[in-house]
Amino acid sequence: MTTLEKAQQYCIQTYVKYPLELVRGEGRYVWDSEGKKYLDFYGGHAVCLMGHCVPEIIAAVEKQSRELMFYSNIFDTAPAADLAEKLAKTLLPASYRVYFANSGSEANETAIKIARKHMGRTKLVSFHHAFHGRSMTTVAVTGLPSYHQFHPDFDSYTTFVELGDIAATKAAITEETAAVIVEPIQSIGGVNMAEASFYQALEAECRKKGALLIFDEVQTGLGRTGTMWFAQYLGVTPDIITTAKGIAGGLPLSVVLVSTEVAAKIKVGDHATTFGGGPVVCAAGNAVMDILSQAGFLDAVMQKEQMIRDGLARFPEV
């Protein structure tokens, strides 16, 4: 029985699978079981931010695996503390605290839970075509109707508006709104974004109404837009920023960055997760952050963007 046959027989199928068995990755390439080489533009749901099997990440993971592979976050470890410091410092002069989880869905679920506790409110505002995850609460703020077919009651506490429509957004945010959650560049819903002025006006309206602003930067954070966070590019200071996917070079880790003011209301026992911030995944995260922080790295992202734009301009029909 081949690997593909075995997977079909024993694994629950939640995606339409490509008929390939990938066996190796290096840099920007992957290889299948027949030795065919592919240039990887996909990165496994945008996870392999630095490419595949990056030597610095492998070295960090191997070293930490030989010292302490895992212990629960009831104890502090140097990899987690170091990574939290690096992440928080990317947002200076704003002050944030860090919570580690395991996936983008879990990070967004945590952000919403924190917002509801902090505000003492339950209502949420999100945007049509947004994607925030596949857990119950994150599906509730995902603006894709196909995700709601078995959960019709979600609309009772989530109001959806069009990204970029500031009048509708202002009307949707009320004194009952705990938080507005936004993908600053929508992903699965079609790579949509608004003008920078919309996000700035959104922040101002949240401040006016006392609602928290959550930026889901799972697919825009960590240097993908030429700044560490797209919020910085837009000139916005969210109350909470979430990220995941590329942060640990292919290992499961996500991050919730919470403003110091909001974090001060989180008490022992309010929330936790067994595997979040484990030593090995945080060692990988530190290696990723060290690469991102290298001189000229983010400048190179902007240069590549311009190169791609110039190339695409030659094909206006595409």
Q: Is residue 155 scored above 80 in pLDDT?
A: no
Q: In this predicted structure, what is the pLDDT of residue 145?
A: 87
Instruction: Give the model confidence (pLDDT) of 74-97 as tens digits.
Output: 999 999 999 999 999 999 999 999
**Diameter of the chain by CA atoms?**
62
Burial 125-156 (b: 16+ CB within 10 A, else e): bbbebbbbbeeebbbbbbbbeebbeeeeebee
Q: What average pLDDT score do residues 107-117 get?
A: 96
Q: Which of 139-148, 239-248, 257-266 has the lowest mean pLDDT?
A: 139-148
Q: Is residue 152 scored above 70 in pLDDT?
A: no
Q: Is residue 201 scored above 90 in pLDDT?
A: yes
Indicate the pLDDT class of residue 14, thresholds 50, 70 and 90: confident
Q: In this predicted structure, what is the pLDDT of residue 62?
A: 98
Would you call 242 helix, strand, or coil by DSSP? strand
Q: How far apart are CA 156 and CA 43, in angstroms?
A: 36
Q: Which domains does the chain have, with CATH numbers?
A: 1-41 (no CATH), 55-297 (3.40.640.10)
DSSP notation for 215-261:
EE-TTTTTTTTSSSSHHHHHT---SEEEE-GGGGTTS--EEEEEEHH
Q: What average pLDDT score do residues 294-314 get?
A: 92
Q: Is residue 157 scored above 90 in pLDDT?
A: no
Could you tell me the two tokens for 181? 């959650």
299: exposed, middle or buried (C-beta count within 10 Å: 0-12, 13-18, 19+)?
A: exposed
**Residue 39 β-bridge partners:** 29
**Cβ pair 64, 280 in contact under 8 A:** yes
Would you call 113 helix, strand, or coil by DSSP? helix
Q: What average pLDDT score do residues 12-35 get?
A: 93
Could you tell me the two tokens for 219? 């697919």
Spatial strand order in the sheet of 29-32: 22-26, 29-32, 37-39
